[in-house]
């Protein structure tokens, strides 16, 4: 069992630098100098077989020669020497290694083997490892990296999978007022990954916000377990790069093809309350606003501007970000009307016009927040404000900035304020003043709106029921029988289920699908047609995916003679137009739902595809043969999938309005559809071997539904 306490990386009592060097310019020298210069107060042991003393410190040939305990060792030796030294550290009882050395998985070949050996050493000695192939670790107590310049100390924790990206981000952060509680470069993640550090940092008092740059997430299950708890404690922002379509390319189902490679991350982040940054700029904007501004209680904001144009731009941005304008009470409106010039617009967004003085800004801000003393301003619904300043003759931006800071620090408390000072030379001083005083100030209103939106998202998340308290509904189902069906399919050397098998599985999970039986000869088809009645007949072959394309479906089979002829025609078509060597099991005779005679029918697609890291992903949307082109779909994780999730998923599609009923139509049976979605979710969670599942179409009726065409693929 790995040591889950990794606090020694943050507060080590002693550090060994394996590969410490006296020569300036060498990484071994930079790391040692960085530790000393950072004011580290614990013990430092340089390790170098060729030196006796480096930087006035006694140097040892090996960690085994050090007479005292060592908490962590930082490796700056060539890759091929790392494992031997790691073994020695294990014997010495060192708790953690920071391996800066490269020459592992990233070089392929022997590097892969070397990393595997390193992992086994880590397990053998219960030795936790950061890296290899990383920049190092910069904490509040020491700088254990080879970065040229350490960033300011502060309350943001930064975790990065790329060392170069981390240095670039640290450098960029110099232009911001905030500092860092730690900067962690993950490297190859041979042992410790982002989740391990996030788990620790969630309870770290020195850290208020966690920012991450990640290229991949190794352990999806652990992410789902740790993150929802961590995000309840503090905001976690992740910039996830490497969005690739490679995964989607190989997908054979509708769901797989429509989902794309990135959808899983999007869903997981949302479910776990992780804020996703799309750009580095986002990452820092979010870090800044979470660090310095309170989360508003409601999505209810005011815009105060001294220019109409930027006001409209900001309004558009609010619209895009789904931010809501607060409604002002009668007394507020009266007050604004009384004090502001006639040409001012007193409704939200408030335009206090071009000749606005600092005083006018002060009055307006205080009024909308109900801070003007001595007056009863009625209900105050404004929870935050965006103040826009353009440089006009009377504006005095720096003075406005000072006033905003004054109001914010003295009166606003739990209310949010952000600014957009638009311009260059004339407003730069004011903007800088705000920035240094922890009021986010953006060049343009769009970014301000974007940041505010992030706050409201966080508020919604905090108001929602914690994931660990949620339980997906559990239906009584015949799980054993489904297991048996899967066993038989595998025994038959198949991975794709045939329709009569899927039909039985759905039956086991209480989902209605039309009655269906397999005919192996035309004579059998005749008998089945007589039993079932009006039928649709479909080719049954695991190798024929697109049945319509090969003439493998015939509708309206009304007589036994029709069934005989249809059988012959379908099999002949499949042999002529289907793939070579397609194994034909026969023809399915399925009850034909005459939905044209029904009052209303909507074609829905509901499916599932497996994400290798995060498990089943469910897709709901407009179905039928144009499903892939309409792309009217929404996704959700099957993990802890609740009725609320299903409802939300339906509401996120365009077909939702059709299901509600348009042009006088009655509504469809949405409750019944939700029931199917929940049951499918249970099925795919019960059987992780289901890799793909598509119901297309799922016919929604005014009363009830029918799962007409079902495709299930399982693992080999």
Partner 1 sequence: MVKSFYLSSLREGAGKSFLSIGFIQKLIKEGKKFAYFKPIGNPQSAFTNKADPDVAFILKTIYHKIIHIPQDYPYDFISPVSVPESYYVDLVNANRREQFLQKIKSTYDKITKDIEYIIIEGNPSIRKYIRVGLDDVSIAKVLGINEMIYISIDSSDRCIDNLIFTKNYFDSWNIGIKGVLFNNIEYDYIARIKELTEEHINKYDIPVIGIIEKSIELFSPRVSEIIEQIGGELINEKASSGLNNIVENYLIGAMNSQAALKYLRQVNRAAFITGGDRTDLAMAALDQDVSALILTGFMQPDMSVITVANDKGIPIILSPSDTYTTMRNLERLKPSIQEDEIEKVLELVEKELNWDLLLK
The site for partner 1 (CB under 8 A) is made up of 249-250, 252, 520-521, 523-524, 543-546, 571, 578-586
Token code pair at residue 376: 């009863």
Of the two residues 244 and 556, which places its CB atom closer to partner 1 in the complex?
244
Best CA proximity match to 365, nearest among 343, 387, 389:
387
CB of 493 to partner 1, least distance (A): 10
Of the two residues 34 and 573, which places its CB atom closer to partner 1 in the complex?
573
Which H or E run contains 695?
strand 690-701
Of the two residues 428 and 521, which places its CB atom closer to partner 1 in the complex?
521
Token pair 């919604």 is at which residue? 460
Pairing of strands 586-591, 535-540: antiparallel
CB of 614 to partner 1, least distance (A): 23
Task: Return the SS3 of 560.
Answer: helix
Of the two residues 675 and 692, which places its CB atom closer to partner 1 in the complex?
692
Compute the radius of gyration of the chain from its Cα atoms.
32
Of the two residues 50 and 716, which places its CB atom closer to partner 1 in the complex?
716
| Beta strands, E only, 352-414 | 384-389
Is residue 257 classed exposed, middle or buried when 0-12, 13-18 and 19+ CB atoms within 10 A define those classes?
middle
Of the two residues 83 and 252, which places its CB atom closer to partner 1 in the complex?
252
Of the two residues 295 and 570, which places its CB atom closer to partner 1 in the complex?
570
Of the two residues 163 and 578, which places its CB atom closer to partner 1 in the complex?
578
CB of 116 to partner 1, least distance (A): 19
Residue 532 to residue 554: CA distance in whole angstroms: 15
CB of 553 to partner 1, least distance (A): 16
Token pair 């990206």 is at which residue? 165
Of the two residues 108 and 413, which places its CB atom closer to partner 1 in the complex?
108
Of the two residues 463 and 580, which places its CB atom closer to partner 1 in the complex?
580
- How many CA atoms within 13 Å lie on the side-chain side of 705? 29
CB of 688 to partner 1, least distance (A): 23
Task: Return the SS3 of 439.
Answer: coil
**Residue 81 Cα distances to 102, 146, 187, 260, 306, angstroms:** 11, 19, 18, 42, 65
CB of 498 to partner 1, least distance (A): 12
CB of 261 to partner 1, least distance (A): 14
551 dihedral zone (left: phi>0; alpha: psi -120 to 50; beta): left
Residue 159 to residue 91: CA distance in whole angstroms: 29
Alpha helices in 38-109 (DSSP H): 79-92
Token code pair at residue 670: 């949405």
Of the two residues 123 and 631, which places its CB atom closer to partner 1 in the complex?
631
CB of 631 to partner 1, least distance (A): 16
- Are 660 and 632 spatial neighbours (Cβ–Cβ below 8 Å)? no
| Cβ atoms within 10 Å, residue 290 | 24
CB of 333 to partner 1, least distance (A): 59
- Are 191 and 242 spatial neighbours (Cβ–Cβ below 8 Å)? no
Task: Return the SS3 of 98.
Answer: strand
Of the two residues 193 and 586, which places its CB atom closer to partner 1 in the complex?
586
CB of 251 to partner 1, least distance (A): 9
Residue 314 to residue 442: CA distance in whole angstroms: 12
Is residue 480 classed exposed, middle or buried when 0-12, 13-18 and 19+ CB atoms within 10 A define those classes?
exposed
CB of 575 to partner 1, least distance (A): 8
CB of 604 to partner 1, least distance (A): 24
Q: What SS3 string covers 495-540?
A: CECCHHHHHHHHHHCCCCCCCEEEECCHHHHHHHHHHHCCEEEEEE
First to last CA, the chain: 32
Of the two residues 49 and 579, which places its CB atom closer to partner 1 in the complex?
579
Handedness of CA 339, 342, 348, 354 (dihedral sign): negative
CB of 581 to partner 1, least distance (A): 5
């Amino acid at each position: 069992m790995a040591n889950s306490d990794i606090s020694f990386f943050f507060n080590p009592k002693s550090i060994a630098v394996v590969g410490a060097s006296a020569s300036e310019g060498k990484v071994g020298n930079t790391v040692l100098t960085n530790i000393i210069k950072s004011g580290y107060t614990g013990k430092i042991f340089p390790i170098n077989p060729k030196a006796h003393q480096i930087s006035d410190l006694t140097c040892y040939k090996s960690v085994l020669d050090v007479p005292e305990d060592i908490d962590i060792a930082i490796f700056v030796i060539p890759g091929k020497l790392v494992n031997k030294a790691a073994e020695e550290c294990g014997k010495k009882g060192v708790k953690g290694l920071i391996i800066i050395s490269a020459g592992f998985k990233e070089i392929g070949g022997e590097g892969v083997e070397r990393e595997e050996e390193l992992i086994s050493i880590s397990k053998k000695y219960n030795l936790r490892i950061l890296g290899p192939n990383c920049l190092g670790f910069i904490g509040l107590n020491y700088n254990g990296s080879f970065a040229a310049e350490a960033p300011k100390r502060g309350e943001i924790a930064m975790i990065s999978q790329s060392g170069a990206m981390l240095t670039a981000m640290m450098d960029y952060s110099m232009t911001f007022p905030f500092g860092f509680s730690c900067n962690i470069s993950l490297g190859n993640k041979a042992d410790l990954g982002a989740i391990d550090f996030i788990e620790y940092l969630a309870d770290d008092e020195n850290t208020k916000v966690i920012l991450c740059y990640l290229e991949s997430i190794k352990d999806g299950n652990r992410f789902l377990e740790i993150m929802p708890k961590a995000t309840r404690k503090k905001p976690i922002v992740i910039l996830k790069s490497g969005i690739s379509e490679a995964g989607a390319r190989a997908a054979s189902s509708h769901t797989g093809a429509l989902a794309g490679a990135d959808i899983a991350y999007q869903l997981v982040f949302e479910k776990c309350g992780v804020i996703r940054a799309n750009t580095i700029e986002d990452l820092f904007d979010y870090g800044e606003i979470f660090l310095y501004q309170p989360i508003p209680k409601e999505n209810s904001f005011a815009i105060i501007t001294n220019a109409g144009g930027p006001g409209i731009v900001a309004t558009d941005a609010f619209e895009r970000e789904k931010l809501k304008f607060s409604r002002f009470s009668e007394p507020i409106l009266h007050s604004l009307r009384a004090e502001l010039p006639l040409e001012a617009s007193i409704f939200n967004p408030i335009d206090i016009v071009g000749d606005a003085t600092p005083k006018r800004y002060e009055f307006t801000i205080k009024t909308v927040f109900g801070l003007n003393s001595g007056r009863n301003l009625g209900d105050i619904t404004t929870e935050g404000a965006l103040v826009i300043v353009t440089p006009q003759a009377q504006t005095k931006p720096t003075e406005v900035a000072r006033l905003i800071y004054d109001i914010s620090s003295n009166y606003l408390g739990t209310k949010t304020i952000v600014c957009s000072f638009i311009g260059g030379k004339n407003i730069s001083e004011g903007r800088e003043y705000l920035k240094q005083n922890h009021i986010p100030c953006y060049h343009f209103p769009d970014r301000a709106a974007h940041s505010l939106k992030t706050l409201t998202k966080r508020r919604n998340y905090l108001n929602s029921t914690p994931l660990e308290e949620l339980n997906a509904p559990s239906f009584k189902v015949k799980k054993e029988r489904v297991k048996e069906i899967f066993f038989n399919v595998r025994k038959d050397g198949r991975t794709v289920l045939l329709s009569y098998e899927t039909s039985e599985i759905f039956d086991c999970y209480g989902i209605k699908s039309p009655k269906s039986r397999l005919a192996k000869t035309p004579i059998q088809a005749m008998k089945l047609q007589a039993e079932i009645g009006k039928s649709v007949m479909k080719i049954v072959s695991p190798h024929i995916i697109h049945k319509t394309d090969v003439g493998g479906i015939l509708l309206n089979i009304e007589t036994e003679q029709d069934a005989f002829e249809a059988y012959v025609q379908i099999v002949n078509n499949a042999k002529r137009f289907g793939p070579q060597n397609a194994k034909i099991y026969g023809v399915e005779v399925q009850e034909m739902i005459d939905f044209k005679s029904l009052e209303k029918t909507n074609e829905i697609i509901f499916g599932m595809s497996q994400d290798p890291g995060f498990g089943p992903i469910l897709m709901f949307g407009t179905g039928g043969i144009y499903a892939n082109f309409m792309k009217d779909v929404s996704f959700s994780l099957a993990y802890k999938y609740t009725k609320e999730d299903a409802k939300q998923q339906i509401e996120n599609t365009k077909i939702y309005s059709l299901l509600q009923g348009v042009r006088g139509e009655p509504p469809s049976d949405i409750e019944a559809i939700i029931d199917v979605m929940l049951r499918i979710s249970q099925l795919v969670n019960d059987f992780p071997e289901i890799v793909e599942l598509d119901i297309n179409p799922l016919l929604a009726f005014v009363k009830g539904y029918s799962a007409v065409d079902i495709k299930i693929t399982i693992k080999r």
